[in-house]
Structures are given as structure tokens and as C-alpha cells.
């Protein structure tokens, strides 16, 4: 070891070399992650463009036409990403409603139609009889069976939907601020776990 140059034993050199190795590894790993500034035009984009072109012109687009058909999609993707980066989605009730609608659609797609037997429906009918009774005559299960089935399915699916939303809600801390502008203390907040 005596023939090793003295500067090769310096801790500062070891620190610099180790730092360079760590930066290189980080660059390689980060390079594999999705880059927010990379827009990928996948086959589904081209397929929709081809179908629209073929419907309008009766033939498939050539390479130049396909490139031109990608342009509006690419422009829209750039505008969407820039709008999100500028937080233009914040505070817009129409965008909020659209996101909520899409989330409900995802939840609905995951729901399963409940299985049932006649006893389950009869029990539910008896529990909710007031809904079907009329002033002139009490409701008869045999007469309302199809309606009862649909009402039971709707109620059961609503319970599943509520349970799915509650499961998502449990990831959040909910703070309810109580304050009327006249007498509320600044920063008065109450935690709610509803």
C-alpha cells in the first residue's frame, strides 16, 4: 500500500467519488421514471385518428396524414398539461363536477350486482312495506315483486357505492371550520370524523 499516491487516501477524494457515483445512479434511476415533459402518442391515439379519417374519407390515412391527425391531440395534451401545471383546474366547479362524475363512474364499474334469494327480497319488502302500501289496500309482495327487486338492487348498490366512498374518505383528515364572519375567532377549526 505504500506505493499508493498520498492524495488517493484523502477522505475528500473518497467523498467526491462516492458523491459522483450516487449522482450517476440517481440519474439512471430517475431517467427510467416517467418524465412529465415526455408525451407519448400511443396506438390508441393513432387508432382513433385512423377510424375518424376512414369514416370521413373511406380509406386509411397515409403517414403524412396520420402525422397531421396527431397534431390536434398533441396540442390538446400540451394545453391540458400546462393548464394543470398552472392549476387552472383549481376553483372551477365545472372541472370539479367532471372529476367527481368520472370517479363515480369508476366506482360504479367496480360494483357487483348483488345476489339475492326470495327470502331476502321478502324481508326487505316487509321492512320497507310503507313504501308500497296504498291508502286503499296493503301492498302484496306477489304484485310488487319486480319493483321490490329493482328497489332492493338500487338500495344495495347505493350501500356499496357509499362504502367505497367512505373507504376513500378514511384516507383523509376532515377539518370543519366553523365561523361566521361576525364573531368567529381566526383559525377556529374543529376536527370531524364523520
**Mapping DSSP to helix (H, G, I), strand (E, B) and coil, where does residue 185 land?**
coil
Mean pLDDT of the chain: 83
| Mean pLDDT, residues 132-145 | 82
**Please, which contacts does 43-49 make with residues 24 or more away whose CB atoms are closer than 8 Å?**
45/70, 45/73, 46/70, 49/73
Pairing of strands 189-192, 174-177: antiparallel
**Number of neighbours of residue 165 by Cβ within 10 angstroms:** 13
Read off the pLDDT band of 193 (50, 70, 90): very low
- Axis crossing angle, helix 141-169 with helix 93-110, rounded to the nearest 10: 120
**Number of neighbours of residue 127 by Cβ within 10 angstroms:** 9
User: What is the pLDDT at residue 146?
Assistant: 85
Residue 72 sits at the vertex; the CA angle it makes with 69 and 77, to the nearest 5 degrees, is: 125
User: What is the pLDDT at residue 161?
Assistant: 92
Whether 17 has a pLDDT exceeding 60, the answer reads yes
Contact present, 128 and 152 (Cβ < 8 Å): no
For 105-125, what is each residue's pLDDT tens digit?
A: 999 998 888 888 889 988 988
Q: By mean pLDDT, which of 26-40, 81-95, 144-158 is the weakest? A: 26-40
Contact present, 109 and 101 (Cβ < 8 Å): no
Amino acid at each position: 500500500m505504500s506505493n499508493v499516491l498520498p492524495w488517493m487516501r484523502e477522505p475528500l477524494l473518497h467523498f467526491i467519488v462516492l458523491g459522483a457515483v450516487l449522482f450517476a445512479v440517481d440519474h439512471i434511476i430517475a431517467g427510467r421514471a416517467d418524465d412529465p415533459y415526455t408525451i407519448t402518442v400511443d396506438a390508441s391515439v393513432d387508432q382513433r385518428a385512423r377510424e375518424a379519417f376512414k369514416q370521413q374519407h373511406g380509406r386509411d390515412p397515409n403517414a403524412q396524414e396520420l402525422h397531421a391527425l396527431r397534431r390536434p391531440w398533441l396540442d390538446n395534451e400540451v394545453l391540458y398539461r400546462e393548464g394543470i401545471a398552472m392549476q387552472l383546474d383549481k376553483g372551477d366547479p365545472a372541472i370539479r363536477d367532471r372529476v367527481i362524475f368520472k370517479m363515480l363512474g369508476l366506482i360504479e364499474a367496480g360494483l357487483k350486482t348483488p345476489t339475492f334469494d326470495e327470502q331476502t327480497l321478502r324481508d326487505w319488502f316487509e321492512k320497507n312495506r310503507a313504501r308500497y302500501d296504498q291508502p286503499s289496500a296493503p301492498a302484496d309482495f306477489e304484485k310488487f315483486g319486480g319493483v321490490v327487486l329493482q328497489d332492493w338492487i338500487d338500495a344495495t348498490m347505493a350501500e356499496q357505492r357509499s362504502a367505497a366512498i367512505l373507504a376513500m374518505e378514511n384516507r383523509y383528515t376532515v377539518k370543519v371550520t366553523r365561523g361566521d364572519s361576525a364573531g368567529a375567532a381566526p383559525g377556529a377549526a374543529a376536527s370531524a370524523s364523520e
